[in-house]
Amino acid sequence: LQETQQPYDVLIIGAGLSGLCSLYHIRERFPTWRVKVLEAGTDVGGVWYWNRYPGCQIDTESLSYCFSFDKELLQEWEWTDTFAKQPETHRYIKRVAEKHNMEKDIIFNTRIKSAHWDDRSHTWTFVDEDGDEYLTRFFVSCLGFLSSPTLPKIPGIADFKGDSFHTSRWPADLDVGRDFAGKRIGVIGTGATGIQTITALSKAPSIKSLSVFQRTANWSAPLRNVPLSVEDMAKAKGEYDAIFQRCATTPTCFLHEADARKSLEVTPEERLEHWEKLYNSSGFGKWLGVFSDTYVDREANSMYSNFMAEKMRQRVRDPLVAESLIPKNHGFGTRRVPLESGYFETFNMDHVHLVDLQKTPIARVVSEGIETEDGKLHELDVLIFATGFDAITGAFSAIDWHAKDDRPLIASRGSERYSSAIWPDHRPKTYLGLSAPAMPNMLMVLGPHQPFGNATRSIEHASGVICDIFAYCKDNGYTYFEPTIEAVDSWTEHVFKCGSTGLVNEVDSWMTGINKNVEGKTERTVARYAGSAIEFRKRCERCKESGYEGFVFA
């Protein structure tokens, strides 16, 4: 590192919604600070930049997903769909960046490979893929919790001779109508991404066949997007404040929240009436607006799951296919519920085939396609991996950390640096989900142990808290802060306690830290804050009021 290099005051890693929101607030609050954003991609947007697969669309009402800090832009912006498709959300994010002249402070094409803490100068040095170094006093991790894609571990995968790619690396110049004409397409994975991709591809008239490789059936229910007219938007523009206020009162910051009644206490007629109302409504209501015992009481969950299973059966013509599509090993809503727009009906189309991997697991990938254990070869020209992400900790483990005392942040059992890892076995320990032990001067937006929910709402809150901590450092002349071990232990215990009740925590998913394609992610953990966002905000506020108890400053 050049001795003469002047450190930045803050480096922000990532130019998605978290990075842009942090940049906006840090520049507003600390106009004289030197601040830059380092971004691996060529444009702003984060997940909305990387995920450009056909059918990519938000499941959260766009009116509640935008930034509340730019009221002028809210009045200018015309959403055309209740749930915007990816290009529209990306356009909105680009407009935010452009309006606030953010790009001048973003260094694109910069993927960080390693980070080194220097205890003498209280600075971090980040090194990118090209070996360029960036020195900073503080940094804000805006790495994203679903930004590190994972490919399946299937024998022979490199032998496939057709085109293959992960959904979040969809080739920019690919034209489905032109390039997939007459092709046999295979999709592995039926999470939120797979469901959207499969539905969109099934409608492409030119595709010869679409084979869906489903390992775990997923509960899914109608999104029910409706276009927003000019009149709708004129009305909505007067309602933004109320929308954001409403989000601030719900546990997940979405517009939807549970019905206080219990499934087992209402009459069967009342129960059915409520469920039908939810089913016919748009958005996450059918996941989050359920009776309050749905995700804690097995019987309540099983009743609601049966209701949903019946809806699926009504939509799929072949009863055997319908049964394969209905999850058997977990109840409705215990994993993130993907919302769909005609997904189940795709299996009524002659050219769409479901390959139920529970019945016939994949044996191997061969040059012509996928061979299943029943000896059948599913011939394919294109293989798409909708196989998800190394969630929550994945973007962190992609960086070689040399934190305080040269400790790595993450390490798997058996690896060389395991014994000194701050988060051994990908199991985060944090204070308020904002900071980690032995990681001085780091603050995180949407990091482990933070409530995710409606991401934009959580991001706006976290970036405010982060600016308050920086202001405290600035006002007191501190160049160093770190959470105490006691604060970290106590917060992590609280996070585990919040995560100990609820059926969600009994099911394998990215929300419980499982990814069979990632070494060391085979045991469940609590990697996100499962308490309510309201409680989270209270605890952050209490920390500030106490003069940042739980942190040491120097």
Closest distance between ligand NA7 and the C-beta of residue 2, in Å?
40
DSSP H or E segment with residue 127: strand 123-128
**Among positions 93, 97, 115, 192, the unique one binding ligand NA7 when judged by CB under 6 A:** 192
| Residues within window 79-138 making contact with ligand NA7, judged by CB under 6 A | none
Q: Let me know the angle formed at the C-alpha of 152 by 147 and 158, rounded to the nearest 5 degrees.
A: 115
Which residues are CB-contacts of 535 (< 8 A; sequence separation ≥ 6)?
Answer: none
In the three-class reduction of DSSP (H, G, I as helix; E, B as strand; rest coil), residue 124 is classed as strand
- Which tokens hold the place of 181? 């004409």
**Among positions 194, 424, 447, 499, the unique one binding ligand NA7 when judged by CB under 6 A:** 194
| Residues within window 197-226 making contact with ligand NA7, judged by CB under 6 A | 213, 215-216
Q: Which is nearer to ligand NA7, 59 or 482 (CB)?
A: 59
Binding span for ligand NA7 by CB under 6 A among 21-29, 151-159, 278-286, 363-371: 151-159
Binding track, positions 333-352, relative to ligand NA7; x by CB under 6 A: ---x----------------
**Among positions 122, 152, 472, 484, the unique one binding ligand NA7 when judged by CB under 6 A:** 152
Number of C-alpha atoms within 13 angstroms, CB side, residue 42? 1
Which residues are CB-contacts of 444 (< 8 A; sequence separation ≥ 6)?
Answer: 140, 141, 430, 433, 434, 435, 436, 450, 462
DSSP state letter for 417: T
**Alpha-carbon distance 365 to 388, whole Å?**
19
Binding span for ligand NA7 by CB under 6 A among 128-136, 189-197, 374-382, 544-552: 189-197
522 binds ligand NA7 per the rule CB under 6 A: no
Q: Which is nearer to ligand NA7, 297 or 323 (CB)?
A: 323
Binding track, positions 356-395, relative to ligand NA7; x by CB under 6 A: -x----------------------------xxxx------
* Residue whose C-alpha is closest to residue 333's, from 521, 505, 516: 505
DSSP state letter for 81: B
| Residues within window 43-82 making contact with ligand NA7, judged by CB under 6 A | none
Number of C-alpha atoms within 13 angstroms, CB side, residue 255? 21
**Alpha-carbon distance 237 to 443, whole Å?**
33
| Residues within window 480-519 making contact with ligand NA7, judged by CB under 6 A | 510, 517
Binding span for ligand NA7 by CB under 6 A among 186-194, 255-263, 279-287, 441-449: 186-194
Residue whose entry in the numeric block shows the structure tokens 């320990």: 429
Which residues are CB-contacts of 76 (< 8 A; sequence separation ≥ 6)?
Answer: none
Closest distance between ligand NA7 and the C-beta of residue 118, in Å?
36
Closest distance between ligand NA7 and the C-beta of residue 270, in Å?
31
Residues binding ligand NA7 (CB under 6 A) = 146, 152-154, 188-194, 213, 215-216, 336, 357, 386-389, 510, 517
